[in-house]
Amino acid sequence: MLNSLHVKNMALIEEAEVEFEEGLNILSGETGAGKSILIGSVNIALGSGNFRDFLREDADYSLVELVFSTQSAAVKKTMEELELPWEEGEIIISRRFKGGRSVSRINGETVPVSAVRRLASLLLDIHGQHEHQSLLLPEKHLEILDAFAGEEAKKKKELCREQYRQHMEVKREWDQAVRQEAGRMKEMDFLQFELQELEAAALRPGEDEELEQAYRLLANGQKIQEALAEAGSLSGCGGYDGAAEEIGRALRAIGSVQEYDDALEALGESLSEIESLLNDFNRSLSDYVDTFSFDAQEQNRVEERLDLINRLKAKYGSSIEKILEGKKERQERLELLANYEDYLEGLKARYEKTKKALEQTAEELSALRKKSAGELACLIRDNLKDLNFLEVQFEIEFRALPAPEENGKDAVCFLISTNPGMPLRPLGNVASGGELSRIMLAIKAVLADQDDVGTLIFDEIDTGISGRTAQKVSEKMAVLSASRQILCITHLAQIAAMADQHFLIEKNPQEGKTRTRIRPLSEEESVQELARILGGAQITETVLESAREMKELAGKLKRKGGA
């Protein structure tokens, strides 16, 4: 259930904190007091509204926060999938707007709006004029029927969607194959040309790196030769006078006197190690000089090979590995085209297999729907009679689609007749705005046991109704509130009288500005508000007595368990 709503700097609301209870929570007030701000704030918190429509001009930020409590397994699973903390069933959803951007959080964690919407669909259901109008859409009728049909239908529908996706993938491949058949020989010729080019190149992995290293060496051959000659001359390699000759002389000089001091022996040993290292260096240098050769023809060969590889990279892939992968794909494609009739036969078999599987699941889903449709129509009809549609007829019409789609093979339409002697006609051709709101209430009453949503919000549920019909609507809402928390914004005393908790939304002038506040009413204050709704500007003692009587009758009705 929704425990509380905290709003700050939203339109006429400077700051408001509302704590709701189980059962029927009624919100009423004068026209223009700010009732729409409340629903707008909830929608904004749940990611379905725009802050800019409600932002106060004198505030630098706005905030909406909703606190829920739930033990729903579906909600807990979703929280785990979203990797959000599960705080013993308490869920805090907040959305803050500042500096032109909004931030949404769930239990303190910043989340995208899509995550809020996903979670909100399991916690709260808002029904306003827009939702009532959705009843005019046949796809909404199918959605309602599937919700009533239960878990088995849900699983079949999910399977149907997956099979439809697979079938459409095969169909797209089939259509493409048929289109390409005319150009098959031309494509084969082109693939053969490309494969011949790649075969002739005889590429091997890592070859380009080896060639680039060889090219760097050959391109700098002259420079290397000159550096080697200079190093040999300075080090005394190859018979040159150089460091080797000088170190030898130094070693002989130290050797001639080291018998006179032990410290000189250590110097001689160090110099001997230097001479040994230099001799090793000179041998290695000599070996390198013997093996190194600068060949202009080899340089040209390496350069040409690199040019070829780079051209193939530009044409077939950014590396030799990718070129070879592309070669394999071309070979497979050429083999497929060479055996195109077998390929088409395989596609046709896959097409028929996925089509048959889809048709089978769609047929099973349709059977579940038709089995549930009669019961759903009967329950909606009974609930409509409770809502003062005394001579109502209600049926669910099925029409088979030309071919199964992602939702199966059925198109359904709700048919209704609200007057004796009138034929059944599609809902959109018959129902008025007030009737649509009552029909939606009847449907929600039927579906109350089919979902796990803990809170329902009704806005404009009393559109176009009064008198006996309003009383029937209030009684139905009282029944529904026994199993669900309901928040209802209303202008009708009959509905407001049923409140388990009654809130007043009112405007107050403060310091030259108008502010909206929301406050809970005591039992006597609730009677006063009912009298205001009944009597308008003139609240007489008679009107007050009528309000008290209405409240007492509503209480008796609720204690008896509803209408």
Span 278-333, pLDDT tens digits: 888 888 878 777 777 667 777 788 788 888 888 888 888 888 888 888 888 888 87
DSSP structural state of residue 32: T
Upper half-sphere CA count for residue 10 (Cβ side, 13 Å): 30
Banded model confidence at residue 431, pLDDT cuts 50, 70, 90: low
If one compares 84 and 234, the residue with the highest pLDDT of the two is 84
Indicate where the chain has its CATH 3.40.50.300 domain(s): 2-128+452-559
Q: pLDDT, tens digit, for every residue of 253-276?
A: 888 888 778 788 888 888 888 888
Residue 428's SS3 state is helix
As a whole number of angstroms, the distance between CA 142 and CA 138 comes to 7
Secondary structure letter of residue 423 according to DSSP: P
- Judged by phi (left if over 0) then psi (alpha if -120 to 50, else beta), residue 90 lies in beta
Closest CA to 479 of 356, 563, 403, 541: 563
Contact by Cβ (8 Å): 507, 514: yes
Least confident of 271-280, 358-367, 459-468: 459-468
Identify the top-confidence range among 93-97, 463-467, 514-518.
93-97
pLDDT band at 468 (very low <50, low <70, confident <90, very high): confident
Side by side, the strands of the sheet bearing 13-19 are: 13-19, 2-10, 61-69, 90-98, 101-106, 109-111
Tell me how far apart the alpha carbons of residues 151 and 388 are, in angstroms, rounded to a whole number.
Answer: 32
- pLDDT(413) > 90: yes
Q: How far apart are CA 520 and CA 499, in angstroms?
A: 11
CA–CA gap between residue 136 and residue 138 (Å, rounded)? 7
286 CB-near residues (< 8 Å, 6+ apart) = 232, 237, 238
The per-type count for the chain, helices as H runs and strands as E runs, is 20, 15
Residue with tokens 């007749």: 417
Residue 340 burial by CB count (10 A; 0-12/13-18/19+): exposed, middle or buried? middle
Q: Which of residues 552 and 278 earns the better pLDDT score?
A: 552
CATH class of 2-128+452-559: alpha beta
Compute the mean pLDDT over every residue in the chain, rounded to the nearest whole number. Answer: 84
Query: Average of pLDDT values for 183-202?
Result: 80
Give the confidence band of 111 by pLDDT, cuts at 50, 70, 90. Answer: very high
Highest mean pLDDT among 11-25, 181-195, 448-462: 11-25
Please tell me what DSSP assigns to residue 466.
Answer: -
- Over the stretch 323-351, which tens digit does the pLDDT of each residue have? 888 888 888 877 777 777 777 788 889 99
Q: How far apart are the first and last CA of the chain?
A: 24
Query: What is the per-residue pLDDT across 146-182, written as a single tens digit (0 to 9) for each?
Result: 989 988 999 999 999 999 999 999 999 888 877 776 6
Q: What single letter denotes the amino acid at residue 144?
A: I
Which residues on adjacent β-strands are paired with residue 6? 17, 65
DSSP for 386-402, please give it: HTT-TT-EEEEEEEEEE
Is the pLDDT score of 563 beyond 60? Answer: no
Note the pTM of the prediction, 2 decimals. Answer: 0.65
Which tens digit of pLDDT belongs to each residue from 481-511?
A: 888 899 998 888 999 999 999 999 888 777 6
